[in-house]
Structure 1
């Protein structure tokens, strides 16, 4: 049996998966039928939780200087600002959304992947695969047309909304297509009425216009084209975009150059399961939704972060618990459903055309977002720092204030959870932490954590979520939990 993992798709999700596995010492082969790396902007928003997780490999530090930090999200209607969400209070070392072209994100990920001895095989296509009890046999066609059959322990589909793997598995991609066509573009411009640290949604009866500033004179702009015709949507060129902007925007903005334009339909779809045997789905292969919140790429990259450490423990022979890999679907599929629902609500709210409903929306949003608890809830959802796995089958006992499955907030200056070349659980506490690390050296590393009150022992997963928490003196209560994952020394 091989311990290699085949990753199909070399976009940001596949590259994240490959990087996480490679740095954990797992052999990977990452392929993509596209013969060249992506050169268009595509996804541009990288949210705080994604940056926290990228910090473990060092990629966040390289990515941040390439982007524009946005700390405020404005909602405007009828020429006036209805509400503003501030991200600078998000409880994260990265209290901003980073606006950076997808090609830069991919470039950073490829560079870090190469440092671990792996590079994507571009122009290589998955033709077919078969699973058995011991692995996956994949038939591949290389860029030179040569076909071969190779053996892998697992297969991860990161091959997008038209996933070949999903199709071969026979999984339904259930959902609907929204009734509007959309266009988007990256433009150089002048006259944007806010600092480049503020993004904006301009609501208009003809359709919304979304601005994601990528710098002082560049922005991603998204707007609707009208009811879908059932034919492929046609993007607006710069002159046509300018005319729509003059009507729907705040006035005074001039487009001075076009970097990239496209058009699209909005689909809201998700598979019923993210796993079928030894094949897993991540990113757009598993879920697609409105780009209104800019969270599609982030959700997919976090799928990869969730799965990679589990695959690493299994392929390296450190863990053999079926529950470890079984937990991927019940943890990540509800997150995908939540993002689909939230982005869909945002899109429908922004596209209201009835003047009475528009007025009610504006009043409600103004009142609700003026409340601090609502602000915290909204920014936590956007930043994805409120995502957790409270109903995960991996959750152990929890006797502190935070329930098992909660995100553990990173601390500036401390080594991130899950950093290094082995996916270790971190036992944070006193003497109990050292005892656990001694008994499970392949699974647990100890961190001494000072306590102002009753000393607790927190067991943190490699992806930075709380696995279990007990009193430090009761550390032996976590021994059965760790036995379910891997053996003692």
Structure 2
């Protein structure tokens, strides 16, 4: 069968190829560039814990070597101009005479965001691809034509020896100026220049080792309204200064002045020694493609959405596209009797999730940048500006909460045996310790991304009982038989406990780690129906159309 064609070799396209390979699906990655990553320390990404775990499962080893998981997060707001600043390295505040600053510390933990340079991330993904036989990476290949029919997609790449590529599906991961999106005639509406930031990567020593800082309204002249500092390996820091949305160009001299004044403001009024490694100015746009799927062609990452204001992270959301799409694409590749609902759900789930983030950012911006009243604009408006911003950076609250898909087309119908647990239907499951029938004990997150449904039995005591006894006792044999007859590949796991779940509860988890349903005990018929819903239900008959959107017919470029 033809491979999946992936257009674009940024982190999203590279990760998608690896996620498909993990499910035995071959792919061809068409890379417009020469295939080399230019080191740019000022170009970095922030990954929440679950997406960092996804990349590690895909074999990206550089996260362990070159990523920094924050020791803590410090939010600081200065109300008055003073000469000196002294930071307490605990959770309290300390300052010079006359200071009235608020410091809020966030504890460290395994869920702390991971900060890594984008070139190191891409290099790690390319190294993982080099160990894969199912991925073909083709440099200097720019797509200029896409054609598709009921059986596959053809893409033509420009060059002296123009080449046609044939694939089962094509995914455009080719960035904000996506050629794939333009060839499909898909609109990309939104807002331009929502935020602008000056950025510097420098080597220096700051008073808080390993902590990220969000500083609101610093007192020194020319600092702007907001500065953030994030640690990188080898003593490097990335510092961002929020700029006016449509201000003047930032000259090198002006940027050096910002650096010196900021370092002095954080270090008792004296600028410490520093080495300036890299600089840049980046502009945040908010855009959302009208459609993410036209029959066998799909969009992911920046080709489908742009975001990034007030702490939201664009690449993190692009990787969530990968996590959501890969198992659906793999199932469609391996099985002929697939309902179009399965791939349609990619757009309905992910587009709704990103639209929610964009709405939250649009609601927050007048409050954070214009001084409006929190209570009149945002739910839970009693929270401070700093807490709202911190939530976005740490991946929680309306600006950063993990996505849930409660209204997904794949959501199972209500059933008598369904029960609520600590995770809402459609939400990401907790990373509890689990035991497989072969006796292997791992984290639940380690079993994701393999294209299988996960059936999780909550069985207190299994951790201390000999496996030979409990694997053939109680409800286990009946549940194992039910799992073997599910309409989609599934793996049976056991856990001592799960938040909010009673003993003998059975959880059905999607391959991307979202809860499909929870049941009170073993209910084979209801479990079977829920698993069928997760795979999109029954395939259409031969008389029915099989393409995802008949309005576009064959999905050729407009």
Please, which of 391, 399, 409 is the counterpart of residue 393 of structure 1? Answer: 409
Residue in 2 that maps onto 1:48: 49
Q: Deviations over 1:396-436 (max 9, x none)?
A: 24423233211111235615457488411011125353123
1:51 partner SS:
helix
Are positions 1:427 and 2:443 aligned together? Answer: no
Separation in structure 1 between the aligned mates of residue 8 and residue 509 of structure 2, nearest angstrom: 30
Identify the match of residue 444 of structure 1 among 490, 493, 497.
490
- Paired residues of 1:22 and 1:113 also in contact (CA < 8 A): no
Structure 1 residues 406 and 167, CA gap change in structure 2 (3 angstroms): same
**CA drift at 1:9:** 0.9
SS in 2 for 1:308: helix
**Residue in 1 aligned with 2:508?**
459
Between the aligned partners of 1:382 and 1:217, the Cα distance in structure 2 is 33
- 1:137 paired residue among 154, 160, 165: 154
Tell me how far 1:55 sits from its aligned partner.
4.3
SS at 1:33 equivalent: coil
Distance 1:112 1:326 in 2: 30
Q: Do the aligned residues in 1 keep the contact of 2:361 with 2:399 (CA within 8 Å)?
A: no
Structure-2 change in CA distance of 1:344 and 1:258 (3 Å): farther
Distance change >3 Å, CA 305–CA 81, structure 1 → 2: farther
Return 447-456 or 4-13, whichever deviates more. 447-456
SS at 1:112 equivalent: helix
1:313 alignment counterpart: 331
Question: Do structure 1's residue 338 and structure 2's residue 375 form an aligned pair?
Answer: no
C-alpha deviations, 1:128-162, integer Å up to 9, x for none?
Answer: 101222211111136xx321112111111111111
Structure 1 pair 344–447 and aligned structure 2 pair: CA distance change class (3 A): same
Q: Which ranges in structure 2 are unaligned for 5 or more consecutive residues?
A: 80-99, 434-440, 458-474, 539-558
What residue number does 1:290 align with?
308
**Aligned equivalents of 2:120, 2:386: Cα separation in 1:** 36
Alpha carbons of structure 1 residues 209 and 392: separation in structure 2 relative to 1, 3 Å: same
Q: Distance in 1 between matches of 2:277 and 2:366?
A: 28
1:16-165 equivalence runs, <5 A: 16-39=15-38, 40-41=40-41, 42-59=43-60, 62-78=62-78, 81-84=101-104, 86=106, 88=108, 94-117=110-133, 118-141=135-158, 145-165=160-180
Q: Matches of 2:73 and 2:370 in 1, distance apart?
A: 19
CA deviation after TM superposition for structure 1 residue 454, in Å: 3.9
> Do 1:9 and 1:158's aligned partners in 2 also have CA atoms closer than 8 Å?
yes
Paired residues, what number? Answer: 467
- Provide the residue aligned with 2:88 in structure 1: none
How far off its partner does 1:465 sit? 0.9
Which shows bigger deviation, 452-461 or 319-328? Answer: 452-461
Q: String of CA shifts for 1:183-216, please: whole Å, max 9, x gaps.
A: 22212233x2322223323434733222122146
Q: Which runs of 5+ in 1 are unaligned?
A: none
Structure whose alpha-carbon radius of gyration is higher: 2
Q: CA deviation at 1:4?
A: 1.2
Post-superposition Cα deviations, 1:98-136, rounded to whole Å, max 9, x if no partner, equal 111111111222222222222522211111101222211
Equivalent in the alignment of 2:214: 200
Using structure 1 for the length normalisation, give the TM-score. 0.84
Separation in structure 1 between the aligned mates of residue 509 and residue 336 of structure 2, nearest angstrom? 17
Offset of residue 295 of structure 1 = 1.2
1:8-39 deviations in Å (ceiling 9; x for gaps): 11111111111100111111001121113222
After TM superposition, the structure 1 stretch with the greater mean CA deviation from structure 2, 291-300 or 435-444, is 435-444
TM-score by length of 2: 0.75
Q: What is the rounded CA distance, in whole Å, between the counterparts of 1:268 and 1:446 in structure 2?
A: 42
In structure 2, relative to structure 1, the CA distance for the partners of 1:378 and 1:251 (3 Å cut) is closer
* 8 Å Cα contact 1:44/1:294 also seen in 2: no
1:255 and 1:350 mapped to 2: Cα distance? 33
- Distance, in Å, in 1 between the alignment partners of 2:243 and 2:392 is 33
Q: Distance in 2 between matches of 1:29 and 1:391?
A: 33
Cα distance change, pair 254–225 in 1 and its aligned pair in 2 (3 A): farther
* Alignment partner, residue 185 of structure 2: 170
